[in-house]
Amino acid sequence: MSVWEKIEELEKQIDKFKSLSVEEHIEVDEVIVILKEKINDLHKNLTSWDRTRMARHIDRPKFLDYVPKLFNYFQEIGGDRKFKNDNAIICGLASLDKRKVVVIGQEKGKDTSDKIYRNFGMSHPEGYWKTIRVMKLAEKFGLPLLLFVDTPGAYPGIGAEERGQLVAIAENLYELSGIRIPIIVTILGEGGSGGALALGVGDRLLMMENAIYSVISPEGCAAILWRDASKAEQAANALKISAFDLKEFGIIHEIIQEPGGGAHKDFNAAADKLKKSIKNSLNKLVKVPIDELLDQRYNMLRKFGVFKEK
């Protein structure tokens, strides 16, 4: 039985006890507390591979699910002004309570036809040209930028290469490193490789508890280093891609706690926590003079890496 199946089993038991308490008027609070503790213990022991499966869970909330929970106003704006509108990346003008912000998020899609429409969250260069256009709009009006990451990676296809996927991603990194507005990045689900990093540069990096962030997909790593894509579990654990790993490495600032069983089990609670964290970070960032903020951003980027020198 996988950890998730065990957690699900315990959750079913909690539901059973709850209905017992209603129907039979039995005191069950103590049992429920014990069961919830058990779930929390199981959570702490999840491996990177367990998190990978949760990050890709079919019911996991996607970027567009979060939009109405986080923002009281949202108006999508589209297009790269060059070639087309990429539906795997959504840009918008939004209000976070009273604060105006500009939002860019990767969307994988819900059901089959929506997933195809969103290209499973895998952008072509147009998506990254659109983000550059929109972040410059945010910069022009001094609006903070909120980035949301959830993608298996940038799309590997003929058209994507013809239209310069490599230049599009590189220019995103270049622009984000120096754009003169506060940026908050949230990794919602899958942070897959360069396609995720292209929206992953900012002043604060938040990560949902069951999200992953990796240089390569576990399957891709297994296929190359183990010559066997079915060794993905081993690869995931070796790559250390969970939010807790990244917090320990000092790469992300904050882990957003998810309800037992994952964000989809109590989406309102998960979204509330995320909103609170984003607001907290934003309140701090907008107070920092912009030149100081850019220095801090540069120093943060410069410190990424581990090596020895003698």
Partner 1 sequence: MTAWLKKSILKKKEPDNQWIKCPDCAEILYKNLLIDNINVCTRCGHHFRLSPDGWLGYLVNRGTFKEINENIQSVDPLDFSDAKERYVDKLNRSMKKTGMKSAIITGVGKIGKQKACLGIMNFAFLGGSMGSVLGEKVARLFEHAIELSLPVILISASGGARMHEGIYSLLQMAKTSAAIRKHSEAGQLYISIMTDPTTGGVSASFSALGDIMIGEPGALIGFAGPRVIEQTIKQKLPPKFQTAEFLYDHGMLDMIVNRKELKSILIELLTFFG
Which two structure tokens, joined as six digits, stand for 123? 């952008």
Q: Report the alpha-carbon distance of residue 12 to residue 35 in Å, rounded.
A: 10
Q: What angle do CA 176, 125, 111 make, to 5 degrees?
A: 105
Q: Report the alpha-carbon distance of residue 159 to residue 216 in Å, rounded.
A: 22
Listed in sequence order, the residues at least 6 apart from 186 whose beta carbon sits closer than 8 Å to its beta carbon are 146, 147, 148, 149, 206, 207, 208, 256, 274, 278
* 163 binds partner 1, rule: CB under 8 A: yes
Exposed / middle / buried, residue 8 (Cβ in 10 Å: 0-12, 13-18, 19+): middle
Whose Cβ is closer to partner 1: residue 64's or residue 239's?
Answer: 239
Tell me which amino acid residue 210 is. N
Whose Cβ is closer to partner 1: residue 15's or residue 162's?
Answer: 162
In the window 78-137, what residues touch partner 1 (CB under 8 A)?
none
Q: Report the alpha-carbon distance of residue 61 to residue 55 in Å, rounded.
A: 10
Exposed / middle / buried, residue 19 (Cβ in 10 Å: 0-12, 13-18, 19+): exposed
Q: Among 135, 201, 206, 270, which residue sits at the site for partner 1 (rule: CB under 8 A)?
A: 201
The piece of 53-61, 136-144, 215-223, 272-280 that touches partner 1 (CB under 8 A) is 215-223
Q: Among 143, 160, 199, 263, which residue sits at the site for partner 1 (rule: CB under 8 A)?
A: 160
Q: Among 26, 116, 167, 269, which residue sits at the site for partner 1 (rule: CB under 8 A)?
A: 167
* 305 binds partner 1, rule: CB under 8 A: yes
* 251 binds partner 1, rule: CB under 8 A: yes
Q: How far is the CB of 125 from partner 1 (least distance, A)?
A: 9
* 227 binds partner 1, rule: CB under 8 A: yes
Whose Cβ is closer to partner 1: residue 67's or residue 138's?
Answer: 138
Residues facing residue 204 across a β-bridge: 184
Q: Residue 212 in contact with residue 200, Cβ under 8 Å? A: no
Q: Report the alpha-carbon distance of residue 120 to residue 116 in Å, rounded.
A: 6
Q: Among 61, 220, 261, 262, which residue sits at the site for partner 1 (rule: CB under 8 A)?
A: 220
Q: Among 119, 123, 193, 277, which residue sits at the site for partner 1 (rule: CB under 8 A)?
A: 193
Whose Cβ is closer to partner 1: residue 142's or residue 250's?
Answer: 250
Specify the residue for token string 């070639």: 83
Q: Among 14, 135, 169, 232, which residue sits at the site for partner 1 (rule: CB under 8 A)?
A: 169
Compute CA 221 distance to the chain's CA centroid, rounded to the nearest angstrom. Answer: 21
Tell me which amino acid residue 256 is. I
Whose Cβ is closer to partner 1: residue 38's or residue 163's?
Answer: 163
Q: What angle do CA 272, 236, 57 make, to 5 degrees?
A: 40
Q: Among 33, 116, 269, 301, which residue sits at the site for partner 1 (rule: CB under 8 A)?
A: 301
Tell me which amino acid residue 25 is. H
Specify the residue for token string 């995720």: 196
Q: What are phi and psi of 69, to 5 degrees?
A: -75, -35
Q: How far is the CB of 61 from partner 1 (least distance, A)?
A: 23
* 25 binds partner 1, rule: CB under 8 A: no
The piece of 107-115, 138-146, 169-177, 281-289 that touches partner 1 (CB under 8 A) is 169-177
* 247 binds partner 1, rule: CB under 8 A: no
The piece of 24-32, 109-117, 235-243, 271-279 that touches partner 1 (CB under 8 A) is 235-243
The footprint of partner 1 (CB under 8 A) covers: 154-158, 160-167, 169-171, 173-174, 176-178, 193-194, 197, 200-201, 213-216, 220-221, 224-228, 231, 238-241, 245-246, 249, 251, 297-298, 301-302, 304-310
